[in-house]
Structure 1
Amino acid sequence: MRRILIVGAGQAGLQLALGLQAQDYDVTVMSNRTADEIRGGRVMSTQCMFDQALQHERDTQINFWESQAPRVQGLGVSVAAPDGSRAIDWLGHLDHYAQSVDQRLKMAGWLETFAQRGGQLVVHGAAVSDLDFFARTYDLVLVAAGKGELVSMFARDAERSPYDAPQRALAVAYVHGLGPRPEHPDTEAVRCNLVPGVGELFVIPCLTTSGRCDTLFWEGVPGGPLDVFRDIKDPAEHLATTLELMEKFLPWEYARATKVELTDAGGTLAGRYAPTVRKPVGRLPGGGAVLGVADVVVANDPITGQGSNSASKCAAAYLAAILEHGDRPFDEAWMQATFDRYWETARHVTTWTNAMLAPPPEHVVNMLGAAGELQPVADRFANGFNNPADFEEWFYDPAKTEAYLASVTG
């Protein structure tokens, strides 16, 4: 039986661990927290998983919360005008529903399931020196912990990383009590609110430890009026600041948020990081090699909501590669090939995300405007969150965008 160590207990690490466990691999997971500590801790992210990523969870039979989480049927885009009105406002319909589950709920549940099924769980923060030892005792070591010392083992890929500094200041609050959008009161939808030159607010229906909630997620241009959360430590102050900024820049969203309250004391998070692609193979002081997973090697800004989706797709790609490899050695050539397999999906996400971080070119502004009049355009944009590769066909190149809009108008 092949022995595999996965360092990190997030979406990719645990999905991969449970998938390997189901195939009778001897799997050890290293987590720096217990399931109870995760469940009772601070929120770790925002997330909205679309159909392709959700299907990987279904295939592994770990979609434990699918019947409970809100079924997101659409994705709306609103662009603020200088006078506080909406210059653009539309709702695209998803072909298949999306869902968001608080990672505290999901990761705690998955970690408990892994242990209950006989998996080896080690609760300990891993250092490079630890991996130097483990690389000699396991057939394969995968690093799925996207922060801290371990990431330094993976060199930045400059050709694939156009940004060397954070492009947004991030701040999220999980809340109960948000009212529906009055124009679509019966439709669960992600709302993407764009404030040109300032940043974005995403509103995402979600399931948390205390039931249905919504996440209010600001992405602020660094140094701008939204970049004010860095020094806020008090959750109540964080929420108050979130709402003040909504009232100032997005009054239509503030109007349905006047009665919100935090889901819990751990329901806020703020931070920033530079979008980075890294080389997939980490080399250890003793000469061994480890393979980076998900955002260890491809960390995109969350502006396109792809983090958990990419993690799920990475886990699925790596699972298939491991199963196909049989009893052969997991050498560096295999590690590189396995990452390359994932990159065929991830590269589309990176291209799209980096494009959305920049000021939109004229043809994209025109397309967003046209989507308000042409429902097929709105729907295609919304479904691009499920399949970002589709944007290559119509989004980036002005001529392709013009040809597509002309085909829709007939």
Structure 2
Amino acid sequence: MRKILIVGAGQSGLQLALGLQSKGYDVTLMSNRTAEEIRTGRVMSTQCMFHTALQHERDLGINFWESQAPRIEGLGVSVAGPESQRLVDWVGKLDGHAQSVDQRVKMAGWMETFAQRGGQLVIHGAAVGDLDYFSRAYDLVMVSAGKGELVSMFARDAARSPYDAPQRALAVAYVHGMGPRPEHPEFDAVRCNLVPGVGELFVMPTFTTSGRADILFWEGIPGGPLDVFQGVKDPAEHLKLTLELLERFLPWEYARASKVELTDSGATLAGRYAPTVRKPIGRLPGGGLVLGVADVVVANDPITGQGSNSASKCAASYLRAIVEHGDKPFDGAWMQSAFDRYWETAQHVTKWTNTMLAPPPEHVLNLFGAAGQLQPVADRVANGFNDPADFENFFYDPALAGEYLAEVTASAGASAAE
């Protein structure tokens, strides 16, 4: 039985631990918090997961909250213009539904499941020196804790990291009492509201510790009018600022948010980080090697909602790589190949996310505008959140975008003429 140590109990670490456990591996999981501390702590993310990522959970039989979480069947985009009017407003239908489960619920539940199934759970913050000691007792050590000292073991990959500073100031609030959008109230959708030159607001249905809720998530351009949450410790003040900015920039969202209340005392989060790709192998002082997982090695800005999706896809990819490797040593060459396989998927997320952090070029504005008149365009953009590789076919290149719009327009015209 091969012995594997995973440091970090987030989406990727826990999914990987449960997956390896189900395959008969001897897994030790290190977390700096207990399940109960996670469950009663502060929210950690926004985590809207799309079909492919959700399927990885189903494949392992760990989709425990699927019947309770809202079924997100669409993804809408609105663009604010002068006088806070909507210049663009549409919603695309997803081929497979998405869902958001508060990570406090999911990680606490998964951690308890791992322990109940006989996994070794160590509640202890890990430093590089600890891993140096532990590594001698394990066939493979993986680091999935995306913050703190351990990340410094993984060198920044400058060629794949165009930004060296945070591109957005992030502010999250989980709320009860959000009203439905008048447009398409019959199904749940994530709403992306773009305020050019200012930032973005995402509204998404979620399942939290107190049941159904909605997440209000501001992404503000640093130094701009949305960059006001740094240093705000009081949750009530955080919510007040959130709503004031809604009223100022996105009155159509404010109209359904005016009566909201925070779900609990830990329902707010603010911060910022530079999107960074790192080298996948960390070297310990004693010469041992560790493999970086998910956002330890590929940390994208959450503007495209890919963090938990990427974590799930990385865990699934690494699980396959480990099982296929059999009883051969997990050396540096294997670690690099395991990451390279994941990068085949992750590179599309990184390219798309970094593109969306920049002011949109004219052809992208044309695509977003056309989606309001052409439902197939809206649907294709929405489903790109599940499979960002598809954006290569129509999103980045003005000529490809033009050809695609001409093709859809012609098809719509032909259908109307029949």
Same-fold call, TM cutoff 0.5: yes
Identity %: 80
Match of 1:353 in 2: 353
Deviation at 1:82, TM superposition (A): 1.0
Cα distance in 1, alignment partners of residues 361 and 307 from structure 2 = 25
Give the counterpart letter for 1:384 in structure 2: G
Give the counterpart letter for 1:201 in structure 2: L
Matched, 1:129 2:133: no
Deviation at 1:183, TM superposition (A): 1.5
Match of 2:58 in 1: 58
Give the counterpart letter for 2:141 in structure 1: V
Match of 1:27 in 2: 27
Match of 1:155 in 2: 155
Deviation at 1:184, TM superposition (A): 1.6
Matched, 1:300 2:300: yes
Displaced runs of 4+ in structure 1, greater than 6 A?
Answer: none
Deviation at 1:231, TM superposition (A): 1.2
Cα distance in 2, alignment partners of residues 409 and 255 from structure 1 = 34
Cα distance in 1, alignment partners of residues 200 and 108 from structure 2 = 30
Match of 1:120 in 2: 120
Match of 2:326 in 1: 326
Cα distance in 2, alignment partners of residues 336 and 321 from structure 1 = 11
Could you say what secondary structure the match of 2:295 adopts? Answer: helix
The C-alpha deviation readout for 1:101-133, integer Å capped at 9, x for no partner, is 000000000000000000000000000000001
Cα distance in 1, alignment partners of residues 329 and 313 from structure 2 = 23
Could you say what secondary structure the match of 1:155 adopts? Answer: coil
Match of 1:218 in 2: 218
Matched, 1:267 2:234: no
Match of 1:18 in 2: 18
Give the counterpart letter for 2:239 in structure 1: L
User: What are the equivalent positions in structure 2 for 1:135-150 lying under 5 Å apart?
Assistant: 135-150=135-150
Could you say what secondary structure the match of 1:95 adopts? Answer: strand
Could you say what secondary structure the match of 1:347 adopts? Answer: helix
The C-alpha deviation readout for 1:58-107, integer Å capped at 9, x for no partner, is 00110000011000000000000111110000010101100000000000
Cα distance in 2, alignment partners of residues 250 and 357 from structure 1 = 20
Deviation at 1:145, TM superposition (A): 0.1
Match of 1:377 in 2: 377
Cα distance in 2, alignment partners of residues 381 and 215 from structure 1 = 22
The C-alpha deviation readout for 1:17-56, integer Å capped at 9, x for no partner, is 0000001100000000000000000000111000000000
Cα distance in 2, alignment partners of residues 365 and 160 from structure 1 = 26
Cα distance in 2, alignment partners of residues 409 and 86 from structure 1 = 23
Cα distance in 1, alignment partners of residues 384 and 190 from structure 2 = 13
Give structure 1 stretches of 5+ with no counterpart. none
Alpha-carbon RMSD: 0.4
TM-score normalised by length of structure 1:
1.00
Cα distance in 1, alignment partners of residues 358 and 47 from structure 2 = 22
User: What are the equivalent positions in structure 2 for 1:8-407 lying under 5 Å apart?
Assistant: 8-407=8-407
Cα distance in 2, alignment partners of residues 294 and 31 from structure 1 = 16
Cα distance in 1, alignment partners of residues 364 and 38 from structure 2 = 40
Cα distance in 2, alignment partners of residues 314 and 84 from structure 1 = 39
Deviation at 1:157, TM superposition (A): 0.1
TM-score normalised by length of structure 2:
0.98
Match of 1:2 in 2: 2
Could you say what secondary structure the match of 1:379 adopts? Answer: helix
Between 1:268-277 and 1:182-191, the stretch displaced more is: 182-191
The C-alpha deviation readout for 1:239-285, integer Å capped at 9, x for no partner, is 00000000000000000001100000000000000000000000011
The C-alpha deviation readout for 1:347-374, integer Å capped at 9, x for no partner, is 0000000000000000000110000000
Deviation at 1:187, TM superposition (A): 1.4
Deviation at 1:393, TM superposition (A): 0.4
Could you say what secondary structure the match of 1:279 adopts? Answer: coil
Give the counterpart letter for 1:20 in structure 2: L
The C-alpha deviation readout for 1:144-203, integer Å capped at 9, x for no partner, is 000000000000000000000000000000000000001221210000000000000000
Cα distance in 2, alignment partners of residues 187 and 246 from structure 1 = 23
Cα distance in 1, alignment partners of residues 258 and 213 from structure 2 = 15
Deviation at 1:135, TM superposition (A): 1.2
Could you say what secondary structure the match of 1:99 adopts? Answer: strand
Give the counterpart letter for 1:342 in structure 2: Y
Match of 2:416 in 1: none
Could you say what secondary structure the match of 2:96 adopts? Answer: strand
Cα distance in 2, alignment partners of residues 47 and 20 from structure 1 = 23
Cα distance in 1, alignment partners of residues 408 and 242 from structure 2 = 39
Could you say what secondary structure the match of 1:30 adopts? Answer: strand
Could you say what secondary structure the match of 2:194 adopts? Answer: strand
Deviation at 1:327, TM superposition (A): 0.4
Give the counterpart letter for 1:353 in structure 2: T
Cα distance in 2, alignment partners of residues 322 and 244 from structure 1 = 49
Cα distance in 1, alignment partners of residues 266 and 309 from structure 2 = 23
Cα distance in 2, alignment partners of residues 185 and 320 from structure 1 = 40
Cα distance in 2, alignment partners of residues 341 and 185 from structure 1 = 41
